[in-house]
Structure 1
Amino acid sequence: MKPETETALAAMIKGADAPVRIVGGGTRPIGAVSGQVLSTTGLSGISLYEPGALTIVAGAGTPLSTLNEALAEGNQRLAFEPMDHRGLLGTTGEPTIGGVVAANVSGPRRIQAGACRDALLGVRFVDGSGRVLKNGGRVMKNVTGYDLVKLMAGSWGTLGVLTEVSLKVLPVPEAVGVVLIEGLSDRDAVRALSMALGSPFDVTGAAHTPRGIDGAPVTMIRIEGFADSVAYRAEQQQSLLAEFGPSTVETDPARTSAGWKWIRDVEAFHGQPGDVWRFSVKPSDGPELTERLAQQWPEAQVLYDWGGGLVWALLPEGADARAPGLHGHATLIRASAETFARVPAFHPEPAPLAAISAGLRAKFDPNGILNPGMMG
């Protein structure tokens, strides 16, 4: 099924008598979901772009590259820096903005600019009964139904099929500087990142890799803005973090862009065998989590983002890393079909939250046809 209009989509869903698997660009097939494929790529195109209002509206099937090209002409961008999963998952195709919103895909800048859902102003979608619903608007002050707008971001198509999204965008900064510290242990790195994030010097990226491109640990702190401000804040960060040893500041645009793309897309794990897990934890718990993983799987590799609050882990195939007592959330991002059939992609929700989620799905998808089994 590949509807070209919202009306056609509504008719298809209303007439569906079996589960459907919602697909945008097909670049992030996570979990074990069966059903007839419903492609949103026919719902494509930018219907409104107002640079002065920092707003863009597009069909859910619009390629992310199309949005980025249009925004670049206005010297603007999606502030939440969405990840490209293709290299990590070994997929092809073009990521779509609807897929980004449905999965709430957010990159390193989330710590400063917020997640995808924080930039989402409004949505149009078709629920599991074939109803066309609209929530939100084109400006942040329009908060009608705003909670439902937030719910659609990260619902993975289980509440409805997105047809159109409205997003807040931001200008591209004049300059970028990255403070680099080499050789830190995971615990010291997370402590340094926490100090940087707790400073008044507006950090837009805070990451650490125990194994950089040259094999040595590297801690990265990104600062963006006007050139003079970036230079001043980078110098202040170096002084603040002097106890962790010498640091350098990288300002070359090509190198800084490549470095944060390496973090954003988890390029360290591209082409490597094994399963990929994504852990969301309290930053101070990140190193302890890594130690626990290493105790069970000595070959484990990790990458820290969001100041240590996001930990990516490369583990042996078939590993079940949903550790009892984990204070956070574990998501299985890459694995074989056999592993996904045995290990749920998403961390089990606490009973009260699971009841709320089930109630929402029953309301918006009473027949249980939209990506069944994706989130419980």
Structure 2
Amino acid sequence: MIDLFPISEEDAAAIVREHAASGRRLAICGGDTRSGFGNAVEAESRLRSTNLAGIVAYNPGEMVMTARAGTPLAEIEDALARNGQMMAFEPMDHRPVMATTGEPTIGGVFAANVSGPRRFIAGAARDSLLGVRFINGKGEAIKAGGRVMKNVTGLDLVKLMAGSYGTLGFLTEVTFRVPPRPKDEATVAIEGLNDAEAALAMAAAMALPVEVSGAAHLPMTVTWKFLDGTLPGSEATVLRIEGLPGSVEARATKLAAAMAAFGTVTRFSRDESVQLWREIRDVLPYADGTPRPVWRVSTAPSVGHQLVAALRLETGVDAFYDWQGGLVWMRMEADAEADLVRRFLKALGGGHAALLRAPQRMRAATAAFQPQPQAVELLSARLKEKFDPAGILNPGKMAGS
């Protein structure tokens, strides 16, 4: 596959127009850190954003940043850290679990709607996105949104581009909110709870007026992977508190006292907490160098552990939980078991199961994304036809989604 590196938006538009005119397909790519995720794209050329890089506008006082899509995520995070700000949605780094290289880009983060542990209280990546510039499948440059949330012109189009995986357009620029970074954090851990007990404990913690910003359950099969193997007990249910130092101390003390009713409680320091949640974010237990199938399942917090329990009766599966139990990371021991996963998920009330990683033969035979209801599928097809009438942008990437 030939890599194409446009150096300007005009250059990218010309490349797309040329391919649309001849009907040649284009794979859309940033830093290539999620290669292997999604249905395979058959194309002669790959349009990459990495030469469209650099922060365009950033005034910390406005809490908004505009950057070209190919800007390395590390460059964005460094600039924000110097000014005490962050991306609230805490995007994960897919390289460890996908065994890929390259540099994640800010455009790739929004194109895949990549969100981490804070997602369940701070929203997804798309909820921070204010504006975009992109090239549609006709080779036209489109601008939508603006630098402030009250400017709602094109806001729906902005949201639509987040999570479209390059199927509707080639992102060239993004504008997004960057709130203050918490000055301190701590994590409270409850030892020895099974999956169902942990779901109850996390629900109780979320009901307290202490503003929990991270809630995860780590069964004994994965605890040894975290914090260099120093997590206490056979299982750990972990709850994060963030904010000003005095506030964090007071709220963590209150949370620990309430959680003592569920089991033995320990607390982690700021540095330990930062490391732990980075490891949860990046799915450390399954960054094992193998191609064993890994699923990312989002569902209701009360349903996640029920799904895993049902699957364990039928097949080999390992799992841990984020988002108060509403995000389940599952590694299958052998087959991807897509029909089984999605049948059980539907029986439990529904959700979204995405096959993140699998051997090539399984990827070729499995719809990577959750099949859509017929009405949604028809709407998606109409949107694809509107934005990319020749069907040249990442064809088949979200097939079956």
1:167-246 correspondence runs (5 A): 167-211=176-220, 212-213=223-224, 214=229, 216-246=234-264
Once residues 86 and 222 of structure 1 are traced to their aligned partners in structure 2, the CA distance between those partners, rounded to angstroms, is 24
Once residues 378 and 208 of structure 2 are traced to their aligned partners in structure 1, the CA distance between those partners, rounded to angstroms, is 39
> Which residues of structure 1 form unaligned runs of 5+?
none
Deviation for aligned residue 1:155: 0.6
Once residues 178 and 330 of structure 1 are traced to their aligned partners in structure 2, the CA distance between those partners, rounded to angstroms, is 28
Once residues 50 and 337 of structure 2 are traced to their aligned partners in structure 1, the CA distance between those partners, rounded to angstroms, is 34
Deviation for aligned residue 1:272: 5.1
CA RMSD of aligned residues (A): 1.2
Deviation for aligned residue 1:181: 0.6
Structure 2 vs 1, CA of residues 70 and 163 (structure 1 numbering), >3 Å: closer, same or farther?
Answer: same
For each residue in 1:149-196, what CA deviation from the matched residue of structure 2 results, as whole angstroms up to 9, or x when unmatched? 111110101111100000100112111011111110001111111111
Q: After alignment, is 271-280 or 143-152 more displaced? A: 271-280
Once residues 113 and 171 of structure 1 are traced to their aligned partners in structure 2, the CA distance between those partners, rounded to angstroms, is 13
Once residues 21 and 354 of structure 1 are traced to their aligned partners in structure 2, the CA distance between those partners, rounded to angstroms, is 22
For each residue in 1:348-368, what CA deviation from the matched residue of structure 2 results, as whole angstroms up to 9, or x when unmatched? 001111111111111101111
Once residues 162 and 118 of structure 1 are traced to their aligned partners in structure 2, the CA distance between those partners, rounded to angstroms, is 17
Aligned 8 A contact 2:167 2:384 in 1? yes
Once residues 67 and 344 of structure 1 are traced to their aligned partners in structure 2, the CA distance between those partners, rounded to angstroms, is 33
What's the secondary structure of 2:127's corresponding residue? helix
1:248-287 correspondence runs (5 A): 248-251=266-269, 253-271=270-288, 273=290, 274-287=292-305
For each residue in 1:297-334, what CA deviation from the matched residue of structure 2 results, as whole angstroms up to 9, or x when unmatched? 23x11010000000000003432234315211110000
Opposite residue 305 of structure 1, the aligned amino acid is D
Q: After alignment, is 321-330 or 130-139 more displaced? A: 321-330
Select which of 301, 305, 311 maps to 1:293: 311
Aligned 8 A contact 2:307 2:344 in 1? no
Once residues 191 and 351 of structure 1 are traced to their aligned partners in structure 2, the CA distance between those partners, rounded to angstroms, is 35
Deviation for aligned residue 1:105: 0.2
1:76 aligns with 2:90: no
1:25 aligns with 2:22: no
1:366 aligns with 2:389: yes
Opposite residue 21 of structure 1, the aligned amino acid is A
Opposite residue 183 of structure 2, the aligned amino acid is E
Give the length in aligned residue pairs.
374
Aligned 8 A contact 2:336 2:358 in 1? no
Once residues 207 and 372 of structure 2 are traced to their aligned partners in structure 1, the CA distance between those partners, rounded to angstroms, is 30
Q: What is the aligned partner in structure 2 of residue 157 from structure 1?
A: 166
Percent identity over the alignment is 48
1:315-354 correspondence runs (5 A): 315-321=332-338, 322-326=341-345, 327-354=350-377
For each residue in 1:34-54, what CA deviation from the matched residue of structure 2 results, as whole angstroms up to 9, or x when unmatched? 212111111110011110000
1:132 aligns with 2:141: yes
> Which residues of structure 2 form unaligned runs of 5+?
none
**TM-score, normalised with respect to structure 2:** 0.91
1:314 aligns with 2:331: yes
Aligned 8 A contact 1:320 1:343 in 2? no
Aligned 8 A contact 2:190 2:259 in 1? no
Q: What is the aligned partner in structure 1 of residue 102 from structure 2?
A: 93
What's the secondary structure of 2:343's corresponding residue? coil
Aligned 8 A contact 1:61 1:163 in 2? yes
Select which of 58, 63, 78 maps to 2:72: 63
Opposite residue 259 of structure 1, the aligned amino acid is L
Opposite residue 307 of structure 1, the aligned amino acid is Q
Q: What is the aligned partner in structure 1 of residue 11 from structure 2?
A: 8
Once residues 157 and 321 of structure 2 are traced to their aligned partners in structure 1, the CA distance between those partners, rounded to angstroms, is 31
Aligned 8 A contact 2:126 2:162 in 1? yes
What's the secondary structure of 1:244's corresponding residue? coil
